Amino acid sequence: MQVEVERKFVCDSDIQQKLQQIGAVCLGQREFRDQYFDSDDFTLTLRDFWLRKRDASWELKRPSASRRSVERSSERLCTNYRELTDPREIKAELTEVMRTESCADDEEFESWLQRLTLKCFAEFTTVRRSYALGDEGDGTRVRVDLDQADFGYCVGEIEVLVSDGEDTTLAMRRIEEAALKLGLAGEKKVQGKMEVYLKRFHPHHYTQLLDAHVL
């Protein structure tokens, strides 16, 4: 299993030029539609669990168990999440967090999910342009995504994947270096697409997540 260590940033109009200048290689552009699901009382998101259907695939993002207290402010800008894509693993996590019953192994994932009566609380399309930065000889692959969501919000992400349980210090250092090369000053946490979406379209849900310190 892998952990996504990432830092979001505000996209300036000249970001693509800056990426070119530092030798980033464009990996292409793609478009995907995300639908996020939760119970009426927000059992998942209040625990920082994010269940989504990205186009036809189910994914679950949950906080990484390897989260530790961070001292440096630049590190506080990074988030660590595990991303599960195997339906059996997603089912096991949801069974635990929702305190629901598991099912016979042969039951279809989607029909099991239907019994949880989760509702779609957010749905939007993202156009994503991705870039790869050369590694520094240590095998760390830094990726930069520029996301444009259809509700009128743009955000960038610098991301490194690490193996579950691996120390994330090197990943955070590489992310910080990439941010410096791109001239991304500032220690302010940048809002993700979901934060902006909920604030705009579901303020009640947004306030609950703020009060629970999830956002």
97-126 residues near ligand V4E, rule: CB under 6 A: 126
Query: Based on CB atoms, which residue is closest to ligand V4E, 64 or 113?
Result: 64
Instruction: Establish if 156 lies at the interface with ligand V4E (CB under 6 A).
Output: no
| Cα 32 from chain centroid (whole Å) | 14
Q: How many CB atoms lie within 10 A of CB 60?
A: 23
| Cβ burial, residue 133 (10 Å; 0-12/13-18/19+) | buried
| Cβ burial, residue 158 (10 Å; 0-12/13-18/19+) | buried
Query: Based on CB atoms, which residue is closest to ligand V4E, 47 or 181?
Result: 47
Q: Are 162 and 171 in contact (CB under 8 A)?
A: yes
Stretch that binds ligand V4E, among 78-86, 93-101, 103-111, 179-187 (CB under 6 A): 78-86
Query: Based on CB atoms, which residue is closest to ligand V4E, 103 or 151?
Result: 151
Instruction: Establish if 215 lies at the interface with ligand V4E (CB under 6 A).
Output: yes
- To the nearest whole angstrom, how small is the minimum distance from the Cβ of residue 83 to ligand V4E? 6
**Rounded Cα distance, 70 and 72, in Å:** 6
Instruction: Establish if 78 lies at the interface with ligand V4E (CB under 6 A).
Output: no
Q: How many CB atoms lie within 10 A of CB 70?
A: 15
Instruction: Establish if 194 lies at the interface with ligand V4E (CB under 6 A).
Output: yes
* DSSP letter, residue 45: G
- To the nearest whole angstrom, how small is the minimum distance from the Cβ of residue 109 to ligand V4E? 20
Under the rule (CB under 6 A), what is the footprint of ligand V4E?
Answer: 8, 50, 61, 79, 81, 83, 126, 157, 189, 192-194, 215
